[in-house]
Structure 1
Amino acid sequence: MGNFHNPEADLDRFRFRLGFAAVFVLFAFCLLLGRFFWLQVIQHDFYQTRAEDNRIALIPIVPNRGVITDRNGVVLAHNYSAFTLEITPSRAGDLEETITALSEVIDIQAKDRKRFKRLMDEAKNFESIPIRTRLSDAEVAMFAAQRYRFPGVEVKARLFRQYPLNNVASHAIGYIGRITDRDLKWIEEAEKQANYKGTDHIGKNGLEQHYEFELHGETGYEEVEIDAGGRALRSLKRIPPVSGNNLSLTLDAKLQEITELAFGDRKGSLVAIEPSTGGILALVSNPTYDPNLFVDGITPDNWKELNDHPSKPMINRAINGAYPPGSTFKPFMALAALEMGKRTPGQAISDPGYFNFGNHQFRDDKKGGHGMVDMYKSIVHSCDTYYYILANDMGIDNIAKFMGSFGFGQRTGIDLGKDDLSESKGVLPSQEWKRQRFKKPEQQKWYAGETISIGIGQGYNAYTPIQLAQATATLANNGVMFRPHLVRHIVDTKTGEKRLVEPKPIRDLQLKAQNIEVIRRALVGVNKEGTGARAFAGAPYEAAGKTGTAQVYSLKGAQYKEGAIKKELRDHALFIAYAPADKPTIALAVLVENGGFGAQSAAPIARMVMDYYLLGKLPAGAAKDDPAAIEEEHEE
């Protein structure tokens, strides 16, 4: 039987397949058209932005850091231009070969290579990265002659931080250093990340750190067109940076320098304050260090020398060192007694040279005692027995409450560092303090005998030199306390406008005028007929002051003999003062670590500082110890 073929059926099947294919092609074309419309119309702005981002790179331009000057315009921190040798990795070919060839022309050390590698990891390949900084003129000329050999390598001028007075006021000014992860966290918390693009350095302590966001300025940008390989083609737009604001200080650079010279190689601190404003005139912590060492990254050898030095030059003793105030505490004890009604100026005691409390005898420095002692004599001749009895009568919590009002045991809030932890609180002892300080119940109890030595500035007492200076300035200012500060004006570099750091009183202690007068008259007597008389002999101005000596370790009843004791165990020497006595313009506190007696070591420094500040002259020999003063100081 034959096999019949149906042409009509075959044609219908062909038409169906053709129609299906046409519908499929049309559907696919519609999808492509829809996708094209979505990308080209609906998402046009988005993809255009991404394309521009891939085509255009923003290169940050680091701003010029603000300048720091003293009250007379003396520059303490500024910037200078120097040549750097820089490599653009995308244009330099083989980097290792390039750097090796460069080292034959310019001195490139291992530390330079290490820094370059780290910076390259952080940068984009179209940015130029320094391989050597601060080139000499000879090195610039040598490279210029060979420049044709090094594509992608060029010499650029950059700004570097400089501290022209080197060690002077280093603890006040601080220094800058390379940004660390901790610094980045601080920047992020302040939401300043965008403004620190391209910035390598940041303030590490002192004013450089406290006013970092004022000094830094506003980062600029350059728009650069790049190709697919990341190579820069041309510059499209430039937004210039704005220099950081300048700081004008209350500090007197010359006074600071003279004070540091007065200390010589002795450890210690001095803080001088303008009583009517709280402005810091000098802030010394000795020994000092050179902040220029940190600008381009401190070398391991220099860091080891600073960090391991037995005198600890990196510690700011003015705000971080806590010391017993010794007899400089006595004028404040006497004022507390007057204000609380515990004593009258004429009320006197008979001093046999000791005070018995329980089974313990607290001895006065003067063998045989001072005889009949009223308040004036107790300050002028520094009678310990008077204050043993007074402390016992007042009680520890009354002492703590009054001394706390003068700022003892509290951070002053001075504008140094970035937070409260930059400054020590010290120790203002009280029953509550002891309960919090110790863990065992038997250690937490306050014993009445512990109060006795508190009255002469010993025992648990421990305060910073700036706290002592602030309290002295408050006394000189009749009980009105100002926050110590170093910056007087912040100068806006865009407008030239000066923003005054307004001195505002922290508190007015509302002290009775007649009580202040009693203490101030006695402090003048100290420098006329008492323990400070030798240091201020012949002064053409009237100064008020008080010497002090603070024990470093207990003598256990033995007599103090300086020459028989290791230097590091000798007493600290202290002195507080203000002048002129009737209208004070300067108040200060001096501490000389292991300096012995205050009249011997600390008072001559104060005299030297005041002579310069008030008279503009430098007394000869004031930096040296005065052995003849030792005898007088035994009364302290």
Structure 2
Amino acid sequence: MRKSRQLKNPEQEVRIFRGRALLAACLVVALTAALMGRLVYLQVVQHEVYITRSEKNRVRIEPLPPTRGLIYDRNGVLLAENRPTYNLTLVRERVEDLDATLALLVELLELPDAEAEAFRERSRQRQRPYQPALLMSDLSEAQIARLAVNRHRLPGVEVEAQLLRYYPDAEIMAHALGYVGRINAEELENLDAGNYAGTHFIGKTGVERQYEEALHGQAGLRQVETNARGRVLRELGRSDPVPGRDLTLTLDKELQTLAYELLDGRRGSIVAIEPASGEILAMVSAPGFDSNQFVTGIDVTSYRALQNDIDLPLFNRAIRGQYPPGSTIKPFLALAGLAEGVITPDTVVRDPGYYQLPNDSRRYRNWLRWGHGRVDLERSLAVSNNTYYYTLAHELGIDRIHERMTRFGFGQRVGADVFGESPALLPSREWKRGRFNQPWYPGETLSVGIGQGYWMVTPLQLAAATATLANRGTTVTPHLARAVGEEPLNLPPDQSPIVLDNDQWWDRVYAGMEEVLTGHEGTARRTGAGLEYRMGGKSGTAQVFSLGQDQRYNAAELAERLRDHALFMAFAPLEDPQIAVSVIVENAGGGSTHAAHLARAMTDAWLLEEEAPEVEELRERIDNDDATVTGN
């Protein structure tokens, strides 16, 4: 009999069900425990970590840039100010699609192609994480309005109200003040990250660069609450920035303006110094340029135009222009000859119109080809006799000339706070050996004796040397700052005055320089007509190219840029010098006419507080003198 088959086993099914249910329950309990454990870990153990992260998403620290210090002239006239403006900034880390955002900004701002490329380049400039990059300055009202309407489409983009540097007399003051500009990647690497956080501009040249630390100030911070898109909702706290200190310069705005107008569009420089203090009263290089263009970022077309301008408006001739000093150095050489015992005030040289070295057939000519006859010290300065100084230079020799001229500051930087100054060149035997691997020749000493050859000076150097001459050997350090904040600029006193064996030698040199302007043979006698004070000066003519042995200089036959440079140095009054001036006008011909009149106008304005003659009147005087007066 076959056994019946059991189709169901209820007990087994119950056991299976109970096992599965228990397993499921255990799994649920385990997962619940893991979840609860994770929650406890996040809420309790990692509480501080995640609350900090949360706060960072909701609260952020923003830098507050300081207000840049203002710049004034010696009389309190404002030369560099800050005006309110709106800038466009971008934090790259908060932008999801940088290319799309930039394309939208270019469209909203209506930028031309050339500016659009520069705009994109600025967005890629290296920046510290979460620091705003400056894309554009000085937004117009229309641009601000379009950005505000589309703000929801521009996460990470902000319009910030800031103060922007502005120069009221940009062209006149450009080279002396310098300018500020956007911080570039190289500067960013070397700046204090904390102090310059939020700052987009830095001094690039001139006084702005020299006194950057004082003018910049100290950055502050503020704590703000933001929404999920990074927009500021409210301010939670702040540490205010410390404004930059104001700067008072030694410059006199009126005298600076006069100097620029006197140059009348010609290439050149005028520097005026107060001999007693070394304060620079005026320091002009012409032509100038609009320095305000560089603050917001000059466009490519305008910058190329300045770079390609044949007159080099970006070149600071006052401190970097190097010119042969010509006959302006004759008073300094005369003092060197007296100090070294090579000449006395009464030494007479016979001038036949030329000088010859021993055993040399070459003739080194005086500017007056038939000569001045018997020439003593004072007359040598009044008529600017070359033969006298050929003789003196040969007897002194290049070694003693170099040593004595170094004491007057030639061949070295003389300014205390003049950024970018060139030392120019005072040649020596060692210099030539190192530069050309050649010996020094006697004929080169003669060229140096009349301020030609290798010798080069800057207008600032020449003015500083003139101030030392006016001070009877007491040297002062030319400087542009009078006070930084409330602190006056204190310079160390002169430690190495030039002392002569006989103090009357200064008077004899002064007498010759006065004869330049008032003597009947003086090279600048027309300039000195009607002087109301005693003034000493010396004209100079710097050759642009050398003439052959028997060639004669004829300006009318030369292209304008091949003509001689005109120089003049002067100080006044002789008995109590208040101003020392150097003037260089490129390719203007003889210094006894063009440059001398400009120097006289400067001293008149400073000493007599008179307005200078109109430019047209001055130009007419110069033209008349060019036709009647000769000399260098």
Normalising by the smaller structure, the TM-score range is: 0.7 to 0.9
- Answer yes or no: is the 8 Å Cα contact 2:106–2:116 preserved in 1: no
Counterpart position of 1:184: 188
Where does residue 410 of structure 2 map in the other structure? Answer: 408
What is the alpha-carbon distance in structure 1 between the residues aligned to residue 340 and residue 545 of structure 2? 32
CA–CA distance in 2 between the matches of 1:265 and 1:117? 36
* 2:202 alignment partner, SS class: strand
Cα deviation for residue 95 of structure 1 reads 6.9
Counterpart of 2:276 in structure 1: which amino acid?
Answer: S
The 1:250/1:450 distance shift into structure 2, 3 A limit, reads same
Report what 1:488 is aligned to: 482
Structure 1 residues 192-201 or 361-370, which shifts more? 192-201
Q: How does 1:591-630 map to 2 (within 5 A)?
A: 591-616=584-609, 617-620=611-614, 621-623=617-619, 626-630=622-626
- Answer whether contact 2:127 2:185 (CA < 8 A) is retained: no
Change (3 A) 1:623 1:56: farther
1:522–1:83 distance in 2 versus 1, CA, 3 Å: same
- Provide the rounded CA distance (Å) in 1 between the counterparts of 2:81 and 2:305: 26
How far apart are the structure 1 equivalents of 2:222 and 2:563?
Answer: 61
The alpha-carbon distance between structure 1 residues 49 and 407, as it changes in their structure 2 partners (threshold 3 A), is farther
Query: Are 1:455 and 2:449 matched, yes or no?
Result: yes
The offset of 1:633, in angstroms, is 4.8
2:57 corresponds to 1:70 = no
Q: 1:430 to 1:90 in 2, by over 3 A?
A: closer
Cα offsets for 1:173-217 (capped at 9, x unmatched): 001112223323443xxxx23211122221111001111111111
1:124 positional shift: 8.3
The offset of 1:51, in angstroms, is 7.5
Match of 1:527 in 2: 517
Q: Deviation per CA, 1:219-245: give whole Å up to 9, x if none.
A: 111223467886656533211212111
Q: Which residue, out of 521, 528, 533, partners 1:536?
A: 528
Corresponding position: 1:158 with 2:162: yes
Q: Which residue of the partner structure matches residue 425 of structure 1?
A: 423
Q: Distance in 2 between matches of 1:217 and 1:310?
A: 39
Moved more, 90-99 or 547-556: 90-99
Equivalent AA in structure 1 for residue 214 of structure 2: E
Task: State the Cα deviation string for residues 24-47 of structure 1 (Å, max 9, x = none).
Answer: x9xxx9xx99x989x959xx9999
2 CA distance for matches of 1:584 and 1:226?
A: 65
Aligned Cα root-mean-square deviation (Å): 3.3
What amino acid is the match of 1:630? Answer: D
User: Which of 421, 440, 451 is the matching residue for 1:446?
Assistant: 440
Q: Give distance in 2, aligned partners of 1:185 and 1:128.
A: 16
Distance in 1, matches of 2:93 and 2:184, equals: 27
Q: After superposition, where does 1:350-429 map in structure 2 within 5 Å? A: 350-357=350-357, 358-417=360-419, 422-429=420-427
Structure 2 matches for 1:267-306, cutoff 5 A?
267-306=267-306
Q: Secondary structure at the match of 1:223?
A: strand
2:90–2:123 Cα contact (<8 Å) kept: no
The 3-state SS of whatever aligns with 2:496 is strand
Deviations 1:344-374 (A, max 9, x none): 1111111111111212111111122111111
* Aligned counterpart, 1:22: none
Gaps of 5+ in 1: 1-24, 492-496
2:507 matched to 1:504?
A: no
- Listed one character per residue, the Cα deviations across residues 18-73 of structure 1 (whole Å, up to 9, x for unaligned) are xxxxxxx9xxx9xx99x989x959xx999987886676432111111111111111
Identify the residue that residue 11 of structure 1 maps to in structure 2: none
Contact 2:123 2:135 in 1 (8 A): no
Work out whether residues 277 and 503 of structure 1, in 8 Å CA contact, stay in contact via their aligned partners in 2.
no
CA distance in 2, matches of 1:233, 1:304: 44
1:58 lines up with 2:52 in the alignment:
no
Q: How has the CA–CA distance of structure 1 residues 53 and 633 changed in structure 2, closer, same or farther, with 3 Å as cutoff?
A: farther
Q: Which of residues 545, 549, 571 in structure 1 aligns to 2:541? A: 549
Call closer, same or farther: CA 1:631–1:346 in 2, change over 3 Å.
farther
Find the counterpart in structure 1 of residue 178 from structure 2.
174
* Equivalent residue, structure 2, for 1:6: none
The whole-number CA distance in structure 2 between the counterparts of 1:453 and 1:307 is 34
TM-superposed deviation, 1:479: 0.7
- How many residue pairs align between the two structures? 585
**Structure 2 alignment gaps of length 5 or more:** 1-29
Amino acid at match of 1:401: E
**Is 1:517 matched up with 2:510?**
no
Give runs of aligned pairs for residues 2-151 of structure 1, distance below 5 A.
56-84=59-87, 107-110=110-113, 111=115, 114-115=118-119, 118-119=122-123, 133-137=137-141, 146=149
Q: Bigger shift: 530-539 or 230-239?
A: 230-239
1:219/1:112 CA distance change after superposition, 3 Å: farther
Q: 2:553 aligns with which of 551, 554, 560?
A: 560
2:412 equivalent to 1:435: no
In the alignment, the residues of structure 1 paired with residue 239 and residue 469 of structure 2 have an alpha-carbon distance, to the nearest angstrom, of 53
Distance 1:482 1:182 in 2: 36
Q: Structure 2 vs 1, CA of residues 151 and 455 (structure 1 numbering), >3 Å: closer, same or farther?
A: closer
Separation in 2, partners of 1:399, 1:79: 49
Alpha-carbon distance, 1:302 to partner: 0.9
| Structure 2 Cα separation of the partners of residues 543 and 274 of structure 1 | 15
Shift of 1:630: 3.1
User: Judging changes above 3 Å, is the alpha-carbon distance between structure 1 residues 149 and 184 closer, same or farther for their aligned structure 2 residues?
Assistant: closer
The worse-fitting range, judged by mean Cα deviation, of 352-361 and 216-225 is 216-225
In 1: Cα distance, 2:300 partner to 2:137 partner: 18
Deviation (angstroms), 1:572: 0.9
User: Residues 498, 623 of structure 1: CA spacing in aligned structure 2 closer, same or farther, 3 A cutoff?
Assistant: farther
Task: Tell me how far 1:121 sits from its aligned partner.
Answer: 6.5
Instruction: Rate the CA distance shift 1:56–1:577 in 2: closer, same or farther, 3 A.
Output: same
- In the superposition, relative to structure 1, how do residues 121 and 408 fare at CA in structure 2: closer, same or farther (>3 Å)? closer
What SS class does the counterpart of residue 169 from structure 1 fall into?
A: helix
Q: CA deviation at 1:613?
A: 1.4
Paired residue for 1:15? none
Change (3 A) 1:186 1:600: farther
For 2:447, the aligned partner's letter is: S
Counterpart code for 1:161: R
Separation in structure 1 between the aligned mates of residue 56 and residue 394 of structure 2, nearest angstrom? 77
CA separation of 1:185 and 1:373: change in aligned 2, threshold 3 A:
farther
Amino acid at match of 1:514: Q
Q: Quick one: structure 1 residues 182 and 148, their matched pair in 2 at CA, closer, same or farther if it must change by over 3 Å?
A: closer
Q: Is the 8 A contact 2:134 2:200 kept in 1?
A: no
Task: Tell me which of 468, 472, 479 is aligned to 2:462.
Answer: 468
2:337 aligned with 1:316: no
Relative distance call for 1:394 and 1:606 in structure 2 (3 A) is: same
For residues 580-595 of structure 1, what are the structure 2 equivalents within 5 Å?
A: 580-595=573-588
CA distance in 1, matches of 2:189, 2:320: 24
Q: Which residue of 2 aligns with 1:331?
A: 331
TM value normalised by structure 1: 0.84
Range moving further from structure 2, 560-569 or 501-510: 501-510
Native 8 Å contact 1:125 1:230 kept in 2: no
Q: Retained in 1: the 8 A contact 2:225–2:234?
A: yes
Counterparts of 2:240 and 2:589, CA distance in 1: 58
CA deviation after TM superposition for structure 1 residue 94, in Å: 6.9
The Cα of 1:585 is off from its aligned counterpart by 0.7
User: For 1:352 and 1:121, how far apart are their aligned partners in 2?
Assistant: 69
